[in-house]
Every structure is written in C-alpha cells, then in structure tokens.
Amino acid sequence: MKKLFAIFGNPVSHSKSPLMHNLSFQGLGYDACYTRYLLEDGSRLKETFFNLQLKGINITVPHKEEAFKACDVLDPFAQKVGAVNTIVEKEGKLYGYNTDAPGFLKAIAEFKNIKTILFLGAGGTAQSTSSILRDAGYIVTILNRSEARLERYIKDGFQTYTFDTFKPQAFDLVINMTSAGLEDDSLPAPKEILDTVIPTAKACVDVIYGKETPFLKLAKHYDKPTKDGSDMLLYQGIIAFEYFTEHVYIFEQIEPKMKKAFIL
C-alpha cells in the first residue's frame, strides 16, 4: 500500500514541504505521497494522524510542542529541546524527532572561523538551534525584544540581553531568529543596535526564506556575506525524509531530488 505523509500546521497552505517530499519520493522511486493538513486544534494531532492513516508527518507553527507531547518515543535531542517537527509511526507508536536544528547547523557550516554568534530572537526555533550550536562548540548570545522569553535561556546558562540591557560587542555571526520581516517590513532589533553588531560580523543569516528581509538588506548594505533560511528548510526536509524512509537513502541521494523544489 502507498505510504501517506503530511505536514500539519496552521497556516499550512504556503508550505513547500509537499513539493519537496513528493519530488523526492518520485525521483527516488519510493511509493509514497505527501499532502498538507490544516490542523487547528493541536491537541487533536495524534487522533488526526491515526484517522488519516498516515505513516509520518512534519509539524510546523504552532504545533511543535503539541507534537512533542503526542509522541510515544522521543529522540534524545527532541527530548532535550521540547519541540518535535518530524513524527514517524512504527507498529502503532509515534516516534518524534527535531530536524530543524541539525538542518540549521548544516546550513551555517559554510561560514568558516565562526566562534561567537548573536541570536536576534528567543522563540521556538531559537530554542532548539541555540542548544545544538552550543553542543557543537559555538558561543551563543541571545538578544530579544521581550524579557519573558529569556528566562529559559538564563536558566540554561546563555548570556542574554533585551534591547535595553544590550552592551555593544563584536560577534562573528548575527542571525535573525525572529519573524520580523516575514509579513512586515520591520527589523528584528532597533537599528542603532544592528548598526553596531552587523559591521563587525563576518556574516549575517536569516531563518526567513523566500524573500529579502529588511535585516538581510541592511547586512548587504554593510557588504556582509548573507544567507536566508532556504538551506535550513531544505536540510531539515532531507533529514526528515531519511527518517520517513527509514534510512534507505543517504543525504546525498535525497538532496538533488529535494532541491528541485527550490528551482521550480
């Protein structure tokens, strides 16, 4: 029987994941199909998964924490960060993984001689990526608009600042981890702060993809190498695909197929 996969989210109509995974299934000759599902009530994730007779799902905003709660078995990294974006069903049990963070780690690997990183933002994506970056040996500092979200990072031993408490200093990499610029024209931090940290950085990265955000525009104005969130999206998808297909294919086999979703 054809295996069925989906992405759950709200909204979900804009997601590139169905195209990425279907092109890969097709390109590799794997008998499966991937669709999208608008999940309004996150607490119904498990029930919906089984009702639709799915083999696996990706989970996007705002259900990654509900997805974490719905799993029977968690990969140690997903367990640590409390967010799941990939679920695979095996013998009636749901296995949960986080592929966003390893995808992001791979996406920034092209920038060499990087030690210190400034995160603009402290939401769910910042949470999982800060953890994996620290494990990989980077020193991550968090700057966020509101104080409330910083609590967890302080507990975990990260250096944190709000816009009011920030002390100008140099970082190798500055990363926009906020949704500022996604649907509006705002910068992720006051321009006076960005005007101090961007000029001294080696490169600037945005997790938003498919558009040039005001943050990346400013980084280009300072002649910095930049990168948007497309590779992160691609790599998290490839790693999820490896789980979906139970590691029958390796990364290098999946990449050229999935990449086609970005040039269509």
Q: Which stretch binds ligand NDP (CB under 6 A): 21-29, 88-96, 108-116, 232-240?
A: 232-240
Say whether residue 144 binds ligand NDP (CB under 6 A): yes
What's the closest the beta carbon of residue 64 comes to ligand NDP, in angstroms?
Answer: 7
Q: Which of 3, 16, 46, 64 is catalytic?
A: 64
Determine the size of the site formed for ligand NDP (CB under 6 A). 26
Cβ proximity to ligand NDP: between 15 and 253 the closer is 15
Say whether residue 10 binds ligand NDP (CB under 6 A): no
**Nearest-angstrom CA–CA distance, 134 and 117:** 10
Residue 199 identity (one-letter amino acid): P
What's the closest the beta carbon of residue 165 comes to ligand NDP, in angstroms?
Answer: 14
Say whether residue 61 binds ligand NDP (CB under 6 A): yes
Order the strands of the 73-74 sheet from edge to edge: 32-38, 3-9, 56-59, 86-90, 93-97, 73-74
Say whether residue 233 binds ligand NDP (CB under 6 A): yes
**E-strand spans in the chain?**
3-9, 32-38, 56-59, 73-74, 86-90, 93-97, 116-120, 139-144, 159-162, 173-176, 203-206, 226-227
- Dihedral of the CA atoms 143, 149, 154, 159 (nearest 10)? 0
**Nearest-angstrom CA–CA distance, 17 and 25:** 12
Asked if 64 is an active-site residue, the reply is: yes
As to burial, measured by CB atoms within 10 angstroms (0-12 exposed, 13-18 middle, 19+ buried), residue 110 is exposed
Can you say how many angstroms the Cα of residue 191 is from the centroid of all Cα atoms in its chain?
Answer: 25
Q: Which stretch binds ligand NDP (CB under 6 A): 2-10, 69-77, 207-215, 245-253?
A: 207-215
Q: Which stretch binds ligand NDP (CB under 6 A): 23-31, 174-182, 197-205, 247-255?
A: 174-182
Name the strand (E) or helix (H) holding 25.
helix 17-28
Residue nearest to ligand NDP (CB): 123
Q: Which stretch binds ligand NDP (CB under 6 A): 2-10, 30-38, 123-131, 151-159?
A: 123-131
Cβ proximity to ligand NDP: between 71 and 122 the closer is 122
Say whether residue 18 binds ligand NDP (CB under 6 A): no
b/e map 30-65, b = 16+ CB within 10 Å: bebbbbbbebeebeebbebbeeeebbbbbbbeebbe
Say whether residue 186 binds ligand NDP (CB under 6 A): yes
Q: Which of 209, 222, 243, 262 binds ligand NDP (CB under 6 A)?
A: 209
Binding positions for ligand NDP, rule: CB under 6 A: 61, 100, 121-126, 144-146, 149, 177-180, 182, 186, 188, 207-209, 229, 232-233, 236
Residues classed as catalytic: 64
